[in-house]
Structure 1
Amino acid sequence: MKKIKIIYKALILLLIINACTEEDRSLDFLDTIAAPTNVAASYNLSQDNSGLVTILPTADGGSYFDVSFGDATPEEKGIEAGKSAQHTYVEGTYTIKIVAYNTKGDTTEATQELVVSFKAPENLEVTLENDVAVSKQVNVTATADYAATFEFYSGEDGVTQPVLTGNIGDVISYQYPTAGTYSVKVIAKGGAVETTTYTADFEVTEILVPIVAAQKPATRDAADVISIFSDKYTQTTVDSFTTDWSSLALQEVITVDADNVLAYRDLNYAGIITEASPIDASSMEFVHFDIWTTNVDTFKLKFVDFNGTGYNDGADNIEFEVENTITEKGKWLSFNIPLSEFTGVPFSDINQIVIAAAPQGTVFLDNLYFYKASTNTPAFDDGLLINGDFENGSDAWLIGIDDSSSAPVVTDAGNTYYSVNVTAAGQPYDVNTSQKVEIIQGNTYTLTFDAWSDVNRPILAGIGLSADPWSNDSKTVDITTTKATYSVTLSAAEFGASNARVIFDLGAAVGMVNLDNVSLIIGTGNIIVNGDFENGSDAWLIGVDDTTSAPVATDGGNTYYSVNVTAAGNSYDVNASQKLEIIQGSTYTLTFDAWSDVNRPIIAGIGLSADPWSNDSKTVEITPTRTTYSVTLSAAEFGASDARVIFDLGAAVGMVNLDDVSLSSN
């Protein structure tokens, strides 16, 4: 048994950075480096009655270690990660102490027992169990008197060496390539030459049905989806999910993690019939399905279009089959197939769907539906501006800085936009439109807009002050006769004011200038993928494990991240992350909606996805009321292409719901 405690040591750092400000020398980021976790040590005892023991300390986030041997001898200090210590013992039971240090000197301490005996191990007891979540994985535990370690022999053909070694009392796990019965062996070892052996025939089992549901589909408008089978959407009429001419052992609907799933056991081929209400999917663009199998290599999907004439002995039917490769067994795979791949099928009169497996095997299907890109145009987001699409005419748009003026606009085919004709070239600011907006000194902004003219000509676009000294950052943009979207990155490093402005200076060249869809945001734009969770868990992980999917919930058509923390522990024990590039030296703004069923804290930030886990995170107090929060974060001391945005939620009990997450560089 190990006893663990965390000790936070004082760390004195001397930084001599001649060219930096006091802010540049801030060490606040050090406070967010986590202390080491999972501190332990593995033993290797020489089996020659000498009492020589090799001790290998380990820890997540540990850079170096101290080891106390549990006798009167001095401890060994400063052992580098991956290195070991050796010590010679007399017979006895010892408490070994391992102290793990992270890069800034915080430590985590663990103690565990070591038995050194020159007697052969006695009372060996071995527990072998199939893992409930990992297919073909066996968990092994061994206990014995006078033993310190044990070896596990898997019993596989041709494997004569132990596949794993563990300390007595610990659990080790081994995953077999194939299920079956194996003659396994466990050897308990101490400091004596003699060992004690346990043997058994053990059946390794394979998980043959999914134990977690497929990822929830995205929320879509009813006009954009035709569902054949999915709990997410309203299902179209299906006569039968298997026909009398199908070749399989059994078709049924099972429940997996509260989600209905189609099961086809020993499937060769099967038909799904929609003849009572043929499907017109001619306006759709894709077909989606999720599949889980352990013994099928390829899955074929065929659509049969009766071409408006009924079955007619198949004479007028139009059909095409697409073969899909199963790249991973024992996990949900998602397929999105363009309907154009089903060559020649009009998809206006779908009466039959045929599925087939090769080799014959069992498949589980979910979320079988047609879909297309949304038909709804999202509302224009003008960021920090008002009326950026000019649909409210000149509202908020001025000529120069005169609050009593109104910028000229025109309406064409129902679309309103700014428009001016410069008939004589002069100073850029002679012809101008502006909107007053708060600009915060030190921030970076992105200005995006549509522009076009009747000639090729330049304009100036930027941000700046509305009064003396007129400080600004503006860029020359060359526009053409074709309406196009332009984007410029602007710095407010040297200025800022509550009544600053967005600037378009247009007077330096002749020609029309038309502007529309103007937006201004802090930073360089949102770099989060699926921040509104409308594509379920896409891009969101638990921790840094790329095989995981963060938990989401859907309520009233809105999907969001949701987890219930039932026991308080380390903040990182419950986590949601998204991997993305963080550029060292940059600052970022993280914005998100959050709410709970209680008042409780969470940690939000950015950081690395691997050792040394450098990060900048802030504590945010959330409540039962959905609220938008924003934190400014620094990557002064770290950066990586596979860094991450972090939500650490495990330090307090209560629900945590997150939505509309965005991260932009400042």
Structure 2
Amino acid sequence: MKVMRYIQSIFIIIVLLSAGGCSEDDRDLGFIDSIPAPSNLKLQVQLSQDNSGVTTLTPSGESVAAYTLDYGDGSEAIELAPGESTTHVYPEGTYTATLIGRNLNGEETEITQSVVVSFRPPENLEVTVVGVPGDNFSVNVSASADFAVGFEVFFGDQDPEEPTPLMIGETITYTYPDVGTYQLRVVALSGGAETSEATVEVVIENPIILPVDFESESIDYAFSDFGGAINQVIDNPDPSGSNTSAKVAEFFKEPGAEIFAGTILQLGSPIDFSQFQGFTMNVWSPKPGITVKLKLENADDSNIAAEVDATTSTTNAWETVIFDFSSADLEQEYSKLVVFLDFGNTGEGTTFYFDNIAQATPPSNQVTLPLDFEDSNLDYGLIGFEGAESAVIANPDPSGINTSMTVVETTKTEGAQFFAGTLIPLDVPIDFSISEKISIKTWSPKAGIPVRLKLEADDPGQFVELDVNTTVANGWEELIWDFSGQTAGLQATKVIIFFEFVVDLPGDGSTYYFDDVQLAADGVQLPIDFEDTELDYEIIGFEGAESTLVANPVSGGINTSGNVIQTIKTDGAQFFAGTAIPLDVPVVFGSNQRISIKTYSPKAGIPVRLKLENGNGDFVELDANTTAENAWEELIWDFTGQDTSPAFDTVVVFFEFIVDLPGDGTTYYFDDIQFAN
């Protein structure tokens, strides 16, 4: 009897354990208690095709020591061991077979399987073929038919092809090897020799979708070139800087090409603007200041279109350009990307490259704190008044605490009123809930003169103002105005700065400079140089990273500061081991979307991930590769195009962020986290 075989197998296991020569205490049979219950039970039913009703039933499952099978036709149930099959002769009809799987503990799991015995040809055959979400090459196939006992599927991509069995109520998944049109055939089986069949045409497409990075080997990046432009996907000729990807698009503008020479990429579906209304693109140009035009077109009507221009700022290097479509008619459907490089100029046989066309959040066009005056596309609306002449210019003294590119120059002309100054209108009121202190970097040819800062609402009668004296002549310094307790209810939308505010003292033609107008608060905030002994820098190493504030052990080069952060990625640490630094004052992005950090690594070419996050689940993250080994260097993360509108209160740094690569005990250092110039 098969039931005796099951009982004997348990007995043999117990005897073997007893005969092992172990003492009473050593015989630990606890493992039996941990055996999982039977699972994934299935009963495969195969009917012979000779109208005999002979049926082969094969059980399968996990954690099963024995099966009990009730055929469902009133005959005696039988016992089966794993791997065994049984045959049974059914009369024509529909039966419910019951399969019980049992483990060594006696735990049971039960399923039922419909068994249909019909010798009529299957009727009303319906075949359902649907794509697998996220996989353009796979389909799910199911079928139903009256009087069918099962199906055979021929997917149409092989010749000859062995059929794939499909049970009643089952869905099978199949992955096609390539794009194309295939004839999928399903044969419905009866209990006899009669069959029915149906054919479904399956079209496998792998369309271009956003973001377009040219990395897929299965996508046909079909460029539709025009006007003398020739495009193709090639290996990245300069994998450095902001684009280290493997593949890029080469854009060759042949001699004499039209000024509008370009290329079209057809997307698989219309662009969804519900989240993003802008685009970013990596561009490499041997010529400075070229116009890059991105045009969006309707699939069927090229007259339904929107276009935006961007201008490159570097040569022979990758850079990210931004296209703001927020003012376009985004209710239309656009599914074509049209790219023009060096638009407006006749072709000279020049080769350009572009890559990574992605949807993004357009940069803010609002004037708001912090103000660094670095955005050349932003109108800061400076107003010099009563004899003050003010303008944004290139920094005439990029030294000390201010090496930024641009600053505000204000000249208090001879005879100017003592209250001559500079007004900066803000589009967003100052948020005093973050801080009631304002800091500004100033440069003055005179030490000891008062600088008045006035913060004013739209109603000129609502304001606060305060004087702070300069302490340095002919050099940059940071002045702080503390308005604590004075800002309740104030919606300040104007920043007004007066140099040498001395009653009845007219201007003498002196020129002053200022920069980086921002909220200042106590506590840990950007910029972070780890030099303030009164601040509590909370350094959190996690997942195998051991991080701490130490004296700079490798002082030299671009970093001779006293203190730095040391982080050791210990042996076996998770690949995402890193260092978190909570901030007392959140990072709030303005026009400058770039963060810089000085790093020291014994390895060149490794990715360093920078993540900014908050407690609401908002975050941005980006990788930058080291280029030097055993030396300090400054890495820059450009978050342009990401959603940087939230305030982020935690900075997280990961060294050698490579998926599934564990730590190897390497020690790294970093310092000076700040907005990049």
Same fold (TM over 0.5): no
Please give the TM-score of this superposition, normalised by the length of structure 1.
0.35
Larger Rg: 2
Q: Which has the higher contact order (CA 8 A, sep 6+)?
A: 1
Please give the TM-score of this superposition, normalised by the length of structure 2.
0.35
